[in-house]
Chains A and B, each alone.
Chain A
Amino acid sequence: MRLSSLLPLLLLFGAAAQAQSPTYGVGRTPTASEIAAWDISISPTGEELPPGSGTVDKGSELFLSKGCAGCHGTTGTGGLAPRLVKLDVAADADPWDYGRVLPIRSPYATTVWDFINRGMPLGAEGTLTPDEVYSLTAYLFFLNGLLPDGSTLDRESLPKMRMPNRDNWAQVPDWLPGKPRLEGYPY
């Protein structure tokens, strides 16, 4: 290849490199521990999950002692807050008939851990330890028939849990500027 034919490529790389360096230099760099303290997002693959573990047994105690039962009902239903156990439907029912109940409908177990950790108990969010969140998550899965009594959950086992809707949900379509929301939609 002659240099002249490489030139456009070189220019392209030059431009890309330029776009990758900061233009304004405004804002400061956070420390690693700062990022760790802020970052409460847990992905479906669970790489952000903290060390620790919890059990169904501990979870059932915490559900009372942490006030969850007061809002969600002692059995996870019947309170003012949303129900946390699936509807009473036939054993072979479609998982979508279990109701809009996070610990059973969610395709990923990580979403349950993430939401309890970031948002519950409402009014005292962010006060649970990782062990407590593992335990409460395990207990809610037990209530929904996803884990047997006596089970333990940790950062390894939680993302591996096979939720009933794991592959039974619709991905949002690829979004591109100027694209109709649904190809072929008549209206």
Chain B
Amino acid sequence: MGVKKSDRREFLKRGAALAGSLVAARTAVGQTPDHTEHTPVAPGPDAFLRGSDEIVAYGKRSRFVTSVRIPHGGRASPDQFGLDFHIATPLQDSVGVITPSSLHYMGTTRGSFIPDIDPEKHRLMIHGMVDRPLVFTMAELKRLPSVTRMHFIECAGNRASSRHTTVQETHGMTSCAEWTGVLLSTLLKEAGVHANADWIVAEGVEEVKGASSIPMAKAMDDCLLCYGMNGEPVRPQQGFPLRLLVPGFEGIFNVKWLRRIKVVDQYYMTYNDFGHLTRDPVNAALGYQIGPKSVITHPSGGQQLPGPGFYEVSGLAWSGGGRVARVEVTTDGGRTWRDADIRGTAHPMAHTRFSFEWNWDGKECELQSRCIDELGQIQPSRAQALEFWSTPEEKATSVKGQDNSIQPWRIASDGSVHNAII
């Protein structure tokens, strides 16, 4: 495309319309490299993207990247009324530990419209057993000292079954983001909590005003009032403009569209609390703080290995009990376990990427991973979890309570990867 200097100046004068057609012409005549193996052509783009106001303003991923969220739990999202229910993250395509905000999982109790909130009008009230009840605007909250932390959130219903084929179906109801906001303890201290106040009740603004009881020890320890997520404001599906983060606790505690915190001296048995009601103390204990858990995301169900040879086995591990201390991987269905490498930093209550170097010999085999957290809690196998709950394996469609059992993937000799839960 040799354009002489004088011609070029002339062309610039003629304006944008022509510029557009010239770019189009260039794309049309531009040589499309042949990517077939063994052809002596260096790789290059198939085409060039024209700039657009949209891409300048907010960017856009490549049209070749098609990874998307899917409705989860056998119910449409959105449904015929426009309600969103459960939406699962495409973990099979994940790299690193941050879930892009647009791919973050979402859950609601029974389907919900997403509140459309003007942050200028939004308010947070702290009241109840405090010396000084307080109301904050979003601007006021942003004046307070902030923290930025990596944390996962996981839905209590994130359980794998033999019916699932991909890791998005077995494990997609968890995600991890970098959250920014004010420590709840900062606000509680500002309000002055009474000595006999043991609980808080946190409440959102959605139709049913979802509220959860949270122990004061947790509220004072590491709960966050988040306005930021992955470097930008929290997304509406995640609670814009303000959500509570209760690190390591089941998803429902992380109240979205947060408007009110009431400091109280008893467990309030809210409708959300009632949703988790059980009469089994063991079930209650295990279904509160998420257990140690991990899953191999590559290779995982539905993927295809092209043939024998070297692969990085890669996956995510997390625990509601703190940092991931160790991850082990087996490539022989659990007979031998070896340590995987932790990639990057293992943050408390955050997805942690692990990696395991593996040479596949082309024979059928089974891959599993196991998480051990800093408290020494170990992720159980599915058989162990079922035995604990006295569920005969042949009858089990899912593990009772919060399922943090080990996920097995079977690699067939043709390289196809399958869910090995029976």
Question: Which residues on A are within 8 Å of B, measured CB to CB?
Answer: 19-24, 26-30, 34-35, 38-45, 82, 96, 102, 105-108, 110-111, 114-115, 118-119, 122-123, 125, 165, 168-182, 185-187
| Contact residues in B for A118 (Cβ distance below 8 Å) | 208-209, 211, 271
* Interface 1/0 per residue, B259-291 and A, CB below 8 Å: 110101011111100100111111111101101
> Bound complex: CA of A170 vs CA of B285, how far in Å?
9
Task: Please tell me if the beta carbons of B217 and A187 are within 8 angstroms of each other in the complex.
Answer: no
Known: A96-B279, A114-B270, A168-B279. A27 touches B140 (CB 8 A): yes
| Contact residues in B for A106 (Cβ distance below 8 Å) | 269, 274, 277
> Bound complex: CA of A20 vs CA of B190, how far in Å?
7
Shortest Cβ-Cβ A-B pairs, 5 listed? A119-B208, A187-B380, A170-B284, A27-B134, A170-B281
Task: Please tell me if the beta carbons of B321 and A181 are within 8 angstroms of each other in the complex.
Answer: yes
| Contact residues in A for B127 (Cβ distance below 8 Å) | 30, 35, 38-39
- Interface residues on chain B, size class: 35 or more
Stretch from B49-57, B154-162, B359-367, B371-379 contacting the other chain = B371-379
| Contact residues in A for B288 (Cβ distance below 8 Å) | 172-173, 175, 181
> Bound complex: CA of A170 vs CA of B207, how far in Å?
28
* Interface 1/0 per residue, B178-192 and A, CB below 8 Å: 000000001001101
Q: Secondary structure at chain A's binding surface: helix, strand, loop or mixed?
A: loop
Least CB distance, A44 to chain B, in whole angstroms: 6
Question: Which residues on B are within 8 Å of A, measured CB to CB?
Answer: 110, 125, 127, 131-136, 140, 143-144, 186, 189-190, 192, 201, 203, 207-209, 211, 215, 217-218, 221-222, 259-260, 262, 264, 266-271, 274, 277-286, 288-289, 291, 320-322, 375-380, 384-385, 388
Known: A24-B190, A180-B321. A119 touches B207 (CB 8 A): yes
| Contact residues in B for A44 (Cβ distance below 8 Å) | 266-269
Known: A24-B190, A30-B127, A181-B288. A41 touches B211 (CB 8 A): yes
Task: Please tell me if the beta carbons of A27 and B278 are within 8 angstroms of each other in the complex.
Answer: no
In this complex, what residue of B is CB-closest to A119?
B208
| Contact residues in A for B289 (Cβ distance below 8 Å) | 175, 181
Task: Please tell me if the beta carbons of B135 and A22 are within 8 angstroms of each other in the complex.
Answer: no
With beta carbons under 8 angstroms apart, the residue of B132, B269, B278 that contacts A111 is: B269
| Contact residues in A for B207 (Cβ distance below 8 Å) | 119, 122-123, 125
In this complex, what residue of A is CB-closest to B406?
A187
| Contact residues in B for A24 (Cβ distance below 8 Å) | 143-144, 186, 190
Task: Please tell me if the beta carbons of B262 and A30 are within 8 angstroms of each other in the complex.
Answer: no
Task: Please tell me if the beta carbons of A177 and B279 are within 8 angstroms of each other in the complex.
Answer: no
Task: Please tell me if the beta carbons of B135 and A27 are within 8 angstroms of each other in the complex.
Answer: yes
> Bound complex: CA of A22 vs CA of B144, how far in Å?
12
Task: Please tell me if the beta carbons of A187 and B377 are within 8 angstroms of each other in the complex.
Answer: yes
